[in-house]
Structure formats: C-alpha cells, structure tokens
Structure 1
Amino acid sequence: MNGVTVSDTSRALVIGASRGLGLVLANELARRGWQVTATTRRSGGELQANADASAGRLTVESLEMTSPEQLAALRERLSGTRFDLLFVNAAINRGNLPIGEVPTGMFTEVMITNALSPLRALEALRELVVPGGTVAIMSSEQGSISQNTEDGFELYKASKAALNQLMRSYTTRYADDGQTKLLIDPGHNKTDLGGPDAPLTAEESIPAVVDVLEKQAGAPGLQFLDRHGEVVPW
C-alpha cells in the first residue's frame, strides 16, 4: 500500500525554503513530526527563527541552488544522513513579455533557475534519499502544454514545461531506482511569485501538498499532480 507513516525517524530535505511556499512547506513537515533540513541562500530570517524554536526538528543549511559547487558541498555535509523525502522548490518570474521581447540574459536566467537547477539538485542529492523514498519538485499548471490556452507569461510557462520535460527524462534514466517521483502544482498562491491577487495563501495550499506527498509515498513512476492529488495534464 502506498503512503507514509511519519515517525521521529522520517526525514525531509527541502531545497529553497527561505520564503513563500518552501518556507511554509518546511514548517508544515516539521509540524507533522518530520525531521526537516531546509536550505536558504541567506542566513537568518524567518526560517532560522523557526529552526531555533523547533527543538531540533528543523535545521538550516546554506545553499545557492544554481551553484554546482555549493550543491556538491551540501551533499558532502549531509553525506551521513538519509532522507525519506527530497523536495526541490525554486522559481523566478521576470514579467509578462511576449517571447520575442525577452532579452537573452533574462531567458537564460529564468531557464537556469526554473528548469536546469532543480534537476541539478536532484542529480547531486538523489543518493541521499533512501530506497523507496520520494523526490519531488514544485512545478505549476503553467507548465502544462495542453492547458496553455490563455495569453501571457510565455517565458515562465516555457520554463515550467522545460522543467517537466527534464523531470520526465530524469525518470526515464532512473526508472529502476525504486524512488517515487512527483511534480507538484500547488495552485496560484499569494507569494512574491504569484502576486497579491492570487486566490490562495501558502498556509491554505501547502498542507494539502503535504497530504499528497505523504499519500503518494511508494507510488511507482512519475506523476504530475495538483494539491488535491489530481493529475495535471502534460
């Protein structure tokens, strides 16, 4: 049967938890009894304050995810730890420009952050995940090609579609590793990325996301799911 029973030995590594969805995700996992290691590019802040108040259930590591050197250093620092869940959260949005108006530097920055770096993180850290564990990435329904029926945010949509395709390639390459693989659409949230007019808050959506992560533990193959556990069309 799929699903995970959380115990004091259940461990999660959350990449990209300094703010927004990643911060709330790390907090929610810790609240449910997971031992959580969460990364941030900047020291201090709310994540560190939460860790200080967590009685050791939440610990913080420094990481600039776009740096292969820092990923390798993190892997070395965590080499003695094994995780039941590795969750990668990273995305930037540089505005609503038609693709013909997107500067090359902007295109490169968004693709590196939103598509390349999450997969580099999985590649660098996947061996820290226990057999039968879960690797997951925060995606978006904006990356669904079949659902792209409204104008706007062409670069962001392309970066999430690229992320999904790279995750599909990753799954093909590691089809026999026994790990559950998930792309998660958390919905449109009031974050720096989602904007102030979004219909959801992270505190509303992330508990549902964690429900999906816990329920899908042990499921084979790759799934692209929303926060309700429903399939998002590719």
Structure 2
Amino acid sequence: MYNQAKKCALVTGADRGLGLSLARDLAKAGWQVYAGRILSEYTLLDDLHKDYLNLIPVWLDVSKPADICLIRDRIAQDVGYLDLLVSNAALMGGNGAAELGGVNPIDFDAMELSFRINSLAAPLLVDILFPLLEKGNMKRLFFTSSEISSIKLMHRTGDMRYAMTKAALNLGVRMLHNSLRPLGYTFRLYQPGWMKRVQPDGTRSESGNVDPDDSARVALSLILEERPDEDRLILIDRFGHELAF
C-alpha cells in the first residue's frame, strides 16, 4: 500500500523562477516533489536535490504528450498518486514590443509554440495525469497566470503573444473548474507579479520588482490553505487581491 501521509506534487517549469522556489518550499514542507525541467544550462534543481532528496528533477516538455506520459508512469511507479499539480511552465521569450503594423512584427510561429506551452499544456496535463490525481487526497490544481491575461484590464498594444496565451489559459482553467469542481477538485489561479529573472548561477536580474522566493511563499500559502468559497474560481495576486479576468 502507498503511504498517502506524504503529499505528492508535480511542478512544471521548475528550472528557475517561481517554479524552482515553489518546488523547493514544497520539498522543505515534506512533500515528494517532481520538478519539471527543460533548460539544459540550468543546474539549480540538481543543487537543490543534494539538500532535498524528496525533490526529484525530471525532464518535462509540457508541449509534448509523450513527455507527460513518461512522468505519469514514473509517478505511478514511485508513489501511485498525485495530490497537487502546479502548471507553471511558460514561454515568455521574444520581443514584448511586437505589435501589428509596428516596427517589430509579430512572430506567429513563436505565438503557436507559446499557445502549446502556455495554454494547451494545462488541460493536457490534467487529462493525462487524471488517474493519479483521482487517487490523491488533496485534488488541488494550481495554475500560474498573469495580470496581462485580463481582457477587462488590457490596455496594451504590444506583447500580444503572451497576453493571448494567458487569456486562453484562464478560459481553459474555467472549463476545467466547471468539470472537476463537482468531483472535489479545488483550483488556484495565481498572478505572481513581475518577477526578477533567475540566472543559471542563481543571481537575479535587474529587471522585475518581485523576487521569486517572495512570490512562492504566497503561492505556497494559497496551496496549503482552504478557501471558504472554493466553488468560485478567482484570479488572485500576491497581495491577496482578486483580479478581473
């Protein structure tokens, strides 16, 4: 029999940033954490694994169903269940100033890849991992969104690629909520803030105004705490403010 006293989580996009910090904090709290990686130049997860043997780095390209199936089979063999899915992987690269008719044209090939990673991966992960999630006791689904996803608040002309993909993510999460909330699943849709980029050596970039460690602490509390209104899907920021989406 599996020991379900130990919670099990999968965190995607854990090479750096929010995913790395959240995977570490979950491991510190005693969780068995499978941390998805894809950036070969980053070894920060390997360094964490030396301190937390319950944090297991795994290769995971969330745009590829075959990769997700391999992780599903690995978790099924090792643990047998999954309490928490953190869908955090995202593609943010490219020119944020690109706009229709502008000096910097929109790269529609890059936009297509962004949709596969930022939007389509969320329901794909839930679908493939569903048998494991059904065996977990917690049944919690966490999705990293963005303020830029809000259609109501949108005022920009640039960065169409990231904005569209995160807006699509929100709708996908809404539909997952409609389907899975009656089955006991609970949802967290989180705006982490404009985070400083974590470099391969662990240093932070000059740009950004939020350290990933700080945002991850808020995310962890959202994951661990029950809400009185779980039937309502909300997009929440690190200050606890609800955002229109």
**Structure 2 Cα separation of the partners of residues 205 and 48 of structure 1:** 22
For the residue of structure 2 that corresponds to 1:33, the secondary structure is: coil
Task: Please name the residue that 1:34 is paired with.
Answer: 31
Match of 2:62 in 1: 65
What does residue range 184-195 of structure 1 map to in structure 2 within 5 Å? 184-191=190-197
1:115 and 2:119 matched: yes
Q: Distance in 2 between matches of 1:229 and 1:122?
A: 26
- Give TM-score, length-normalised by structure 2: 0.83
Corresponding letter in the other structure for 1:198? G
SS state at 2:244 partner: coil
Task: State the shift of 1:25 in Å.
Answer: 0.9
Is the 1:134–1:217 Cα contact (8 Å) retained in structure 2?
no
Matched AA of 1:84: D
**CA offsets, 1:75-94, max 9 Å, x none?**
12212422221101111222
> Do 2:84 and 2:139's aligned partners in 1 also have CA atoms closer than 8 Å?
yes
Q: CA deviation at 1:217?
A: 6.6
Whole-angstrom CA distance in 2 between matches of 1:217 and 1:87? 18
Contact 2:14 2:45 in 1 (8 A): yes
Provide closer, same or farther for how the CA distance between residues 175 and 212 of structure 1 changes in structure 2, counting only shifts above 3 A.
closer
Counterpart of 2:150 in structure 1: which amino acid? Answer: S
Q: How does 1:6-17 map to 2 (within 5 A)?
A: 9-17=6-14
Amino acid at match of 2:18: L
Identity across the alignment (%): 27
Equivalents in 2 of 1:141, 1:229: separation in Å?
A: 13
1:216 aligns with 2:226: yes
Asked if 1:229 corresponds to 2:240, the answer is: yes
The yes-or-no answer on 1:104 pairing with 2:108 is yes
Q: Give yes or no for the alignment of 1:174 onto 2:180.
A: yes
1:92 corresponds to 2:87: no
Q: For each residue in 1:74-128, what CA deviation from the matched residue of structure 2 results, as whole angstroms up to 9, or x when unmatched?
A: 1122124222211011112222211453132122111112111222112211332
Give the equivalent residue in structure 1 for 2:81: 82
8 Å CA contact 1:133, 1:217 repeated in 2: no
SS of 1:78 mapped into structure 2 = helix
Aligned residues: 227
Q: TM-score, length-normalised on structure 1?
A: 0.87
Structure 2: unaligned runs, 5 residues or longer? none
Give the Cα–Cα distance (whole angstroms) in 2 for the partners of residues 85 and 211 of structure 1.
Answer: 13
Residue 159 (1) aligns with residue 170 (2) = no
Structure with the bigger percentage of strand: 1
